Amino acid sequence: MLNKHVILISAATVACALGIGFMMQPSADHQPRMQQAEAAQPQLPQDSALAQPVAIEKITLTSAKPQISASERAARAVPVAGCALQAEGKALPGALVQLQLSAPCRPGERITLHHQGMMVTETLDEDGALDLVIPALASTATFIVVPSSASDPAAALASAGRVVQVAVPDMASVDRVVLQWRGNSGFEIHAREFGAQYGEAGHVWHGADPAQGAGLLLQLGDPAQLVPHLAEIYSFRRDADREETKAAGNIEISIETEITEINCGREIAAQSLRMSDGRVQSRDLTLAVPDCSATGDFLVLNNLVENLKIASR
């Protein structure tokens, strides 16, 4: 990943985009292959195993009912306390929001969080709780929490979901870029601040030391879930009280994905969200990944997200 030599090989097209530079970083054993990226909707992988018939043998039918004591019947008739999903949030410095969820009788439940076009899949812990820090995308940040217990999202929101609104007073002092996708596509954001090269101080990505750059990168979503919604968010805080954010210049943003045995030979999709003048702008991408002989190489897309321009203070 670090100290990479990148070769320009093609141009890509995204919805509402001015243009995308598309490059591949070859590994020692493979040559780059030209690909095209174009606007489309994400496609989920199909599992042929799910379509196979299931053989069922040795079924025993019985009319006997299990014996239930009076105390057990009484216990079943009483609603379980604390089953309703509770949610609350509070603003943190840096235009961040701490979101706390609690549903004691729903340990391990899958939930979906929606915020200004961003969607992520999370999981309640063994106590039915979740404590999450989320970068806000609006000065009045609205978060919609939808549990997986209802098949209809609208019905889930009306009956069991929650809406949380949090005022974010320092929203205007933050530049923010979101990359979101579904499944294990391997996307990642790389920000190179003020001329930094790969591996140097100022190169911010999820594998770098958080103290290496002035910006902050957070990952959201539970990759252990089946086909989850995942996101990476890069934020640069223009704060006069923080010496490390007083620099001026460009922050180069690139989107990369490693060719793996999971995504090789497939089409993968992502969406970028960029905060600009109080609005969220989005761009869609569908990328044809080379076949599995290129496993280990990296695809690099420039200009899917505009570079951040930081003025001097």
85: Cβ contacts below 8 Å, ≥ 6 apart: 101, 102, 103, 106, 145, 147, 160, 161, 162
pLDDT-derived band of residue 78, with 50, 70 and 90 as boundaries? very low
Cβ atoms of residues 233 and 180 within 8 Å: no
> Phi and psi at residue 171, in whole multiples of 5°?
-60, -35
Q: What CATH number is given for 83-167 in this structure?
A: 2.60.40
| Sign, Cα dihedral of 39, 279, 179, 123 | negative
Is residue 152 pLDDT above 70, yes or no? no
Q: What is the DSSP letter of 157?
A: H
pLDDT higher at 244 or 251: 251
Is residue 201 pLDDT above 70, yes or no? yes
pLDDT-derived band of residue 182, with 50, 70 and 90 as boundaries? very high
20-36 mean pLDDT: 44
pLDDT value for 246: 60
Weakest-pLDDT range from 22-31, 55-64, 78-87 = 55-64
pLDDT value for 241: 60
CA angle 119/93/303 to nearest 5° reads 50
What are the structural domain ranges in the chain? 7-39+171-310, 83-167
This model's pTM is above 0.85: no
pLDDT-derived band of residue 307, with 50, 70 and 90 as boundaries? confident
